Amino acid sequence: MNLKFLLSGSTFYGTGGGGDPKLAEKIYRSLKRPVKLRKINDFTANEIFITTYTVGGLNQQLIKRKIIAKSLSIYQKLINQKISGIIPVEIGPLSLALSVNLAGKLNLPLIDADFVGGRSTPEVFLETISLFNIPRAPLLVINNLGKYKILMRSKNYLAEEKFLRQFADKSGGFALVLGYPITQKVAKKSLCQKTVSLAIKTGEKINQGKLVGKLLFQGKITTIKDIKQNGFTSKIMEIKNKQDLGKLYLKNENLIFWLNNKPLLTCPDLIILLNKNNLPLYNLNLKKNLIVKVVGLPAQSLWRTKNGLKLFNPKLFGFNFAPKLLTTL
């Protein structure tokens, strides 16, 4: 894998979130051995995969190495099954780097797929496995002090979200998660595949200065208003040019974009902010007077199904209108 392209592509598909790209870059630099990327179809039906990620807002730190080692030891004893590979939870910069790091530590392949479905999302339950009622437990969540909790089973995905979010809130806003044991057979039907290789290909285009996605708007950030939502980085931002007004709602990730007060594009489709050189921007680096481009990209097909749109739409975030999706690129 070309890690430079992977970092650029994952920052793009992180849709403004997905963890700090600088922390992801540190992880890639610290890798002791190359990690192989393999397809789901390279494995047999009953082989087991797991994932790892951090839960919390965008203000995060790297988890200490000894904490990662401790969590691995506890989790492997917990499931008492051979692990055949690591699936990224999402294609966002830090989330993806954590999975690459875990794969390297276990000398396992990284699987060319992800649980969220080709992008990053704020809530844990906004993953394509929710569309198939697939459990995430056993789950282990641990903080940098080494304190941890285990969830062996749960009633539904909302209970899993609450369990993880409450632990992260009490741990300074972030924590590390290990879990989601899933067989190859189940992963084939419930996950979007080839999303890691897509991020690498997109990263190559980005590094060539190419514009990826459909250009929706370009202007200067004029206002950034913080919204209090515990455990998340949430903002409403205005972007202006001489003719028009753009407005963006973000909750860790970019979720809704208005043009002249009319919704133009919403989740589950992707909304990405770029700088003047067509490089994707991380939402903690946004500031007033920055010139940005707003581009859109269609979501993966699972998100555009009836059940996908029922789960992931503007109403989930308090906006009473239906999703606005791209029709053409």
pLDDT in tens, 87-115: 999 999 999 999 999 999 889 999 999 99
Say if residues 248 and 239 touch (Cβ distance below 8 Å).
Answer: yes
State residue 231's pLDDT score: 66
pLDDT higher than 70, residue 272: yes
Give percent above pLDDT 90 in the chain.
Answer: 75
Domain boundary pick from 156, 184, 204:
204
Other CB atoms within 10 A of residue 276 CB: 10
Looking at the 3D structure of the chain, how many domains does it have?
2
Q: Are residues 80 and 200 in the same domain?
A: yes
pLDDT higher than 80, residue 61: no
Say if residues 296 and 216 touch (Cβ distance below 8 Å).
Answer: yes
Residues 311 and 309: their CA atoms lie apart, in Å, by 5
List the helix and strand counts (H, then E) for the chain. Answer: 8, 16
Q: Are residues 125 and 8 in the same domain?
A: yes
Q: Are residues 141 and 220 in the same domain?
A: no
Which H or E run contains 297? strand 291-297
Q: Are residues 117 and 144 in the same domain?
A: yes
Beta-carbon contacts of 147 under 8 Å, excluding residues fewer than 6 positions away, are 171
Q: Which residue has the tokens 């979007």?
A: 192
Q: Are residues 77 and 224 in the same domain?
A: no
Q: Are strands 245-251 and 174-183 parallel, antiparallel or unpaired?
A: unpaired
pLDDT higher than 90, residue 327: no
Say if residues 256 and 314 touch (Cβ distance below 8 Å).
Answer: yes
Q: Are residues 275 and 140 in the same domain?
A: no
pLDDT higher than 80, residue 59: no
Residues 201 and 266: their CA atoms lie apart, in Å, by 24
**Residue 78: inside a domain:** yes
Q: Are residues 217 and 186 in the same domain?
A: no
Q: Are residues 139 and 230 in the same domain?
A: no
Q: Domain range for residue 242?
A: 212-317
pLDDT higher than 80, residue 324: yes
**Residue 308: inside a domain:** yes
Q: Are residues 155 and 263 in the same domain?
A: no
Out of 156-170, 248-262, 298-312, pick the least confident: 156-170
Say if residues 161 and 293 touch (Cβ distance below 8 Å).
Answer: no
Three-state secondary structure call for residue 98: helix
pLDDT band at 55; cut points 50, 70, 90? confident
Q: Are residues 234 and 193 in the same domain?
A: no
* Mean predicted lDDT score pLDDT of the chain: 93
| Burial degree of 319 (CB within 10 A; 0-12, 13-18, 19+) | middle
Q: What is the reported pTM?
A: 0.92
Domain boundary pick from 184, 204, 224:
204
**Residue 322: inside a domain:** no
